[in-house]
């Protein structure tokens, strides 16, 4: 199976500061080491999809700087179609400063740059990738208006749209009407719906909330507890794989990109695809860095066979 996936989203260069513990407010601490790697939610998701075998195209923007050239090269190295990545002459390439502690937990500060300055003109001429696409993915590190317009275009071609509402903030009501699958984590879900995630009942209520607003399918990532899914015909919890995490930076992005590579457009194989996606994510958190830690299809299949 080989899906065609289009990702509209953010492109960042990640700089990670490795620390023993997070600083207290007003406190200065020393970083043990520092490293840089390609990242951004959108770019991570595209790489995860591509490494799991999906034919992948990217819609986005970078600055006319060395970081932008570096990111275009990084995406092309994973055989991602970069023709629809614009160069912004006024804004720099997005970047993220990540603080990573000894337990593998992180804090992230993001500079939007070209990502946040993106306008709907980035969508000019994207019909050539949408007409063959199975899935279009977007997140909230780029403007919602651009995602809305892209999702509208995607619907003309029968593309299944996936919205990753991260970082979470208020969603344009019209965007939900064009969203087929929404994939928040539990805190994002609670922030968006006002329903605290405590048990299955609260998750089903959350699914009802989104369904009333036009979204048929809800996937809530629950960290070490797994993933809850709700479709119009079924719901359930797919457990997570237990591993020792060293860096959780791209865990959610790997999950979503890997999922899009395996999922049927009608979500008929959602259980199986979720197992695959969670296995991919479990491999990512055992390695350092965002994009460098994302596994390929063979590594995921091998890990599934060992489990």
Instruction: Name the residues annotated as catalytic.
Output: 253
Q: Any binding-site annotation on 199?
A: no
Please name the helix (run of DSSP H) or strand (run of DSSP E) that holds residue 97, with its range, or none.
strand 94-100
CB-count burial class (<10 Å; 0-12, 13-18, 19+) for 22: middle
Round to whole Å and give the CA distance between 29 and 40.
26
Round to whole Å and give the CA distance between 265 and 135.
7
Q: Any binding-site annotation on 44?
A: yes
Q: Any binding-site annotation on 287?
A: yes
Q: Any binding-site annotation on 77?
A: no
Q: Any binding-site annotation on 249?
A: yes
Q: Any binding-site annotation on 205?
A: no
Round to whole Å and give the CA distance between 167 and 169.
7
> What are residue 189's phi and psi, to 5 degrees?
-60, -45
Q: Any binding-site annotation on 41?
A: yes
Neighbour count for residue 50 (Cβ, 10 Å): 26
Cα distance from N-terminal residue to C-terminal residue, the chain: 22
Q: Any binding-site annotation on 185?
A: yes
Residues in the chain: 307
Tokens at 155, concatenated? 């619907």
Neighbour count for residue 203 (Cβ, 10 Å): 22
Q: Any binding-site annotation on 289?
A: yes
Q: Any binding-site annotation on 40?
A: yes
Q: Any binding-site annotation on 14?
A: yes
Q: Residue positions in the annotated binding site for substrate?
A: 12-14, 40-44, 141, 253
Q: Name the binding residues for ATP.
A: 185, 221-226, 252-253
Binding-site residues for K(+), in ranges, read 247, 249, 284, 287, 289, 293
Show binding-site residues.
12-14, 40-44, 141, 185, 221-226, 247, 249, 252-253, 284, 287, 289, 293
């Amino acid at each position: 199976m080989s899906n065609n996936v289009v990702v509209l989203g953010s492109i960042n260069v990640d700089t990670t500061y490795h620390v023993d513990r997070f600083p207290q407010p007003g406190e200065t601490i020393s970083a043990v080491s520092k490293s840089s790697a390609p990242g951004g939610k959108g770019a991570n998701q595209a790489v995860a999809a591509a490494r799991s075998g999906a034919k992948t195209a990217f819609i986005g923007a970078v600055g006319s700087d060395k970081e932008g050239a570096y990111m275009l090269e990084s995406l092309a190295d994973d055989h991602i179609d970069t023709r629809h990545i614009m160069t912004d002459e006024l804004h720099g390439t997005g970047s993220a400063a990540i603080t990573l502690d000894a337990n593998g937990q992180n804090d992230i500060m993001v500079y939007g740059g070209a990502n946040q300055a993106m306008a709907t003109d980035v969508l000019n001429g994207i019909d050539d990738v949408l007409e063959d696409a199975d899935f279009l993915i977007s997140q909230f590190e780029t403007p919602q208006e651009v995602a809305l317009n892209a999702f509208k275009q995607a619907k003309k071609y029968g593309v299944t749209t996936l919205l990753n509402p991260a970082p979470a903030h208020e969603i344009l009501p019209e965007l939900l009407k064009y969203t087929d699958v929404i994939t928040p984590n539990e805190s994002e879900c609670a922030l968006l719906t006002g329903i605290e995630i405590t048990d299955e009942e609260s998750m089903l209520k959350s699914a009802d909330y989104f369904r009333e607003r036009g979204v048929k399918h809800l996937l809530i990532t629950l960290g070490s507890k797994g993933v809850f899914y709700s479709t119009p015909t079924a719901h359930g919890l797919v457990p997570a794989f237990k591993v020792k995490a060293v860096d959780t930076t791209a865990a959610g992005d790997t999950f979503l990109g890997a999922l899009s590579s395996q999922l049927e457009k009608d979500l008929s194989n959602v259980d199986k695809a979720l197992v695959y996606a969670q296995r991919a994510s479990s491999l990512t958190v055992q390695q350092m860095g965002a994009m460098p830690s994302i596994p390929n299809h063979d590594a995921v299949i091998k890990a599934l066979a060992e489990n």
